[in-house]
Chain A
Amino acid sequence: MTDGDLPLVEGAERIVLPGVGHFAATERLDATGLTGAIRSAIARGVPFLGICVGMQWLYAGSSEAPTQPGLGYFAGSCTRFAESTEKVPHVGWNSLEVRKGSRLLAGVEPGEYVYFTHSYKGPVTADTAATTFYIEPFASAVERGNVMGVQFHPEKSGATGLKILRNLLSWEAKEAG
C-alpha cells in the first residue's frame, strides 16, 4: 500500500484489498490517500472485494485498534472471538452458510469449505452474505451493491475460492431499478 497505487485504484475495473495482519495497519490507507480513492471508486460502481482485514476495514472499526476508523460502509464493528475452550486464531477450513441472493458466492453449494486464519470477525447484519460457525456465528462474507468482503482467503480456498474470484471477475453492474 503506497501512494504510488493511487493511479491504479483510480483507473481500476475491479479492486481487491487483501489483508493479513493488524487492523492498525489500515492507517496506511488513510495516509496514502487510498481511502478516498477507494470511496470514489465504490461510488463509481467499481466492484470492490476486501479480504480478511480488508473485509474488516469495510466496517466502522475493530476492537483490535479502537482509535483507527474503518471505511464504515457496513454497520457495526469487528471484535475478537469470545474467550472459550476453542483455540484462537481460528485457523483452517470451515464451511459457509450462504444467504440467498449473494452474487459473489453464486454457485457455492452448502457444505463447501474455505480457508480461514483470523482472531477478529465482523458482526452478522442484514448485509451478511454468508455466516460461519466458530465459537459463535460470525459474518464470513458481506455484500451490498458493488461492495463485498470475505473473512476467508479465496486465493487459498482451492476450487471454491477460485469460483468466488471468478464471480468477481465476471461481475457486471446491474441496471438500476
Chain B
Amino acid sequence: MITKRIIACLDVRDGRVVKGVQFVDIIDAGDPATQAARHAQDGADEIVLLDITATHEGRGTLLDTVRRTARELFVPFCVGGGIRTAGDAAQVFEAGADKVSVNSAALNDPALIDAIGRSFGAQAVVVAIDARRDPKAADPVRNAEVFVQGGRKATGRRVVEWAREAEQRGAGEILLTSMDSDGTRAGFDCELTAAVSEAVGIPVIASGGAGTVGHFVDVFARGKADAALAASIFHFGVSSARSLKEELAKAGVSVRLPC
C-alpha cells in the first residue's frame, strides 16, 4: 500500500542551514549534509533543501552543498531555490539531486517546466506554488491567488488553474504552500490542499501551518494530500519524523514504518 510521505525541509543560505526541522539532539545545526543524513536516519521519507541564497557567488556553494548532501543520502532528495533555467536545473541534477523545485521562474516562463521535464523526466520536476485565499473571489479557495518572490508579489494567477497548467506541462508533483496558514501552527489549509489535489492527477505535497500531529492526520484525510512538508517538527511535541509517523500510524494513516 502506498504510504503518506513526511518530507523534511531545510532552508539553506550560503551553504548553512538557517531554518530547519529542529530536533532536540542536533549534531550540527548548520551543516546541510549532516542534517539531511540525520533526518533520513530519523525516519524522514524525503529531504527538500531550499536555497535562499540571494547572491550570485552563493550559487557555487549551493552546488557543493548538494554534492556533499547527495553523497550521504539514500532517500529522495529535492532541491529548490534560485533555479531559473533548464541549465541551472541540469547543474543541480548533476550534483546529485533527484528532483528540482521551481516556483517564480516557472511562473515567469512556464515553458521551463516542459524543458526540465523533457530532459530529466516529469518525476524530477516539482512545481512549488505559494497561494493565498482570495476573499473577493466567488470561490476563495479554488481561486486562491498565486504569489511569487517569497509571497511578496501577486501574480493574478489562480491556484487550481495554475496547478493544472503545471501538470499539463509535465510537472511530476505540486508543492503547495498556504500563505494564510504558513507560520500560524493552526493547521494546514485542508480546503485549499483538497481543491488542488482533486484538480490534478499528480501528487500534492502540503505545506504551511502544521502545529500538531493532528494537523497532519487532517491534511492527509480531509486535505487529500499525498505528502506533507515538516518545517519544524520540534514544535509538534515529537522528537523525530519517526515518532511523528508512529503517532500518525496510531491515528490510522498509512506511513512507512519501521523506517
Residues of A within 8 A of B (CB): 20-22, 87-95, 113, 115, 117-119, 133-134, 153, 155-159, 161-162
- SS class of chain A's interface: helix, strand, loop or mixed? mixed
15 new A-B contacts at CB < 8 Å, known A89-B122, A117-B123: A22-B121, A87-B201, A87-B203, A89-B203, A91-B172, A91-B173, A92-B4, A94-B1, A95-B1, A117-B172, A155-B74, A156-B74, A156-B75, A157-B74, A162-B74
With A91-B173, A91-B226 as given contacts, are A20 and B76 in contact (CB-CB < 8 Å)? no
B5 CB within 8 Å of chain A = yes
Contacts of A92 in B (CB 8 A): 2-5, 45, 203, 226-227
Pairs A-B, 9 closest by C-beta atoms: A117-B123, A21-B121, A93-B256, A113-B256, A20-B121, A93-B3, A91-B203, A94-B2, A156-B76
Q: Which applies to chain B's interface (DSSP): helix, strand, loop or mixed?
A: loop
Asked if B233 is at the interface (CB within 8 A of a chain A CB), the reply is no
Q: Does B206 contact A (CB under 8 A)?
A: no
Expressed in whole angstroms, the Cα–Cα distance for A161 and B74 within the complex equals 8
Q: Which residues of B contact A113 (CB under 8 A)?
A: 3, 256, 259
Residue among A20, A92, A134, A156 with most chain B CB within 10 A: A92
B43, closest chain A residue (CB): A158
Q: Tell me which residues from 1 to 54 in chain B have a Cβ below 8 Å from any Cβ of chain A.
A: 1-5, 40, 45
- Complex Cα gap A157–B40 (Å): 10
Q: Can you name the residue of chain A whose Cβ is closest to the Cβ of B98?
A: A156
Contact of B259 among A119, A134, A158 (CB under 8 A): A158
Is B120 interfacial (CB 8 A cutoff)? yes
